[in-house]
Amino acid sequence: MEITGTVRPGFEGVRDVFADVLAGGRAGAAFTVVRHGEVLVDLWGGLADPERGEPWRENTLCVLFSGTKGVVAAVVAALGVLDADAEVRAYWPGFTEGVRVHHVLAHTAGLPYVDADHDLLDSHACAVLLATQAPLWTPGTRVAYHALTYGYLVGELLRRTTGRTPGELVAEVLARPHALDVYLGTPAGLDERVARLVRAPGYRISTFLDDPERRRIVERMYAGLLDSDELMNSARYRRAGLAAGGATGTARSMATLYDLLAAGRIASPRALARATRTWSEGLDAINDRPVHFGLGFELPDPLGTYGPAAAAFGHSGAGGGRHGAWPGAGLGFSFVTNELRAENADGRADRLLAALHDAL
């Protein structure tokens, strides 16, 4: 597949790996690296819509899935309106006692799914249901990824403390001030720029999990979102503004976002240090995957999710997206793709980050 874009001298090896990544797929992707405001790598190619043969363009938007969590974590760190040690009920009267803000942000709240009939795209209604739902464990004693409920909970906390939706805050705090092509609640006028999502053969979630009982919990967590091509490609999904997985963006803007974060231009150095220190770590109690979280950000794990760098933070997304920063190198990176692959069969971002590390 044809590759478009540029690399700075010395980063040709990254371009070679990107070419190989595209050649092994049936859709499209983009990979960007930004260091201190300078674009070192900016590549894209393949098909934004395999059904219609539409090529991936410089301004193609892609659903970020859980890459959205990192965007929302950046908003939380920038605003500083939530005390991580406070009980959720301090901001949200009537919420279950004993759940602290950091339990929500670091996936230890014990509320990984909505235990009632619900519309997964109605964030406020889901938040109301979660407010009185009994946690599966004593908050803080176990860590397990809150795939969708992270967004319902954090989004409601932001709404109650700022009077604005997460989508409005992404625009006001991040996108407009820094000219980022990132949206939480994608406007109708941008629909033609959004890549069509496709699932690779054999795609599935929670590839580390074999236990059938916990597999049923995972199915409740995702509520069928990743099982439906129609739903995840729908305008209704993109408009819903899901703070856990509904944003769209370009690789260039996501890499720029993390470059700005690493440079202390979005959140203060003190706030960023607090958000990117360890708040939870261990084997996911539901998924059997090693995890490591700050306040909304993923941190380096035994799987090498964030590459060879000793220090990193960011957030991955279902199907292969990877977005983050290497503070030691002073850079941000982003890999976006519309071809969803199972984690145990997807080495695309790993290879790109290894090539980037070699180039540095």
Please say whether the beta carbons of 256 and 177 come within 8 A.
no
Average confidence score pLDDT of the chain: 96
Please say whether the beta carbons of 290 and 283 come within 8 A.
yes
Query: Per the structure, how many domains does the chain have?
Result: 1
Q: Is 104 helix (H, G, I), strand (E, B) or coil?
A: helix
Work out the percent of the chain whose per-residue pLDDT is above 90.
Answer: 90
Please say whether the beta carbons of 182 and 254 come within 8 A.
yes
Average pLDDT, integer, range 157-181: 98
Residue 311 reports pLDDT greater than 90 = yes
Average pLDDT, integer, range 2-16: 97
SS (H, E, C) 240-255: CCCCCCCCEECHHHHH
Average pLDDT, integer, range 52-59: 97
> Which residue bears the tokens 């070699």?
358
Distances (CA, A) of 333 to 101, 182, 261, 327: 28, 15, 11, 11
Q: Are strands 339-340 and 198-199 parallel, antiparallel or unpaired?
A: parallel
Give the model's confidence band at 316: pLDDT under 50 very low, under 70 low, under 90 confident, else very high: very high
Q: Is the pTM of this model over 0.85?
A: yes
Q: What is the pLDDT at residue 202?
A: 84
Report the amino acid identity of residue 324: G
Domain span including residue 103 = 3-359
Q: What is the pLDDT at residue 336?
A: 98
Residue 307 reports pLDDT greater than 80 = yes
Work out the percent of the chain whose per-residue pLDDT is above 70.
Answer: 100
Lowest mean pLDDT among 150-154, 208-212, 246-250: 208-212
For residue 39, the domain's CATH number is: 3.40.710.10
- The residues, ordered by sequence, that sit 6+ positions from 168 with a Cβ below 8 Å of its Cβ are none
**What does the pLDDT look like over 119-139, one tens digit per residue?**
999 999 999 999 999 999 999
Residue 1 reports pLDDT greater than 80 = no
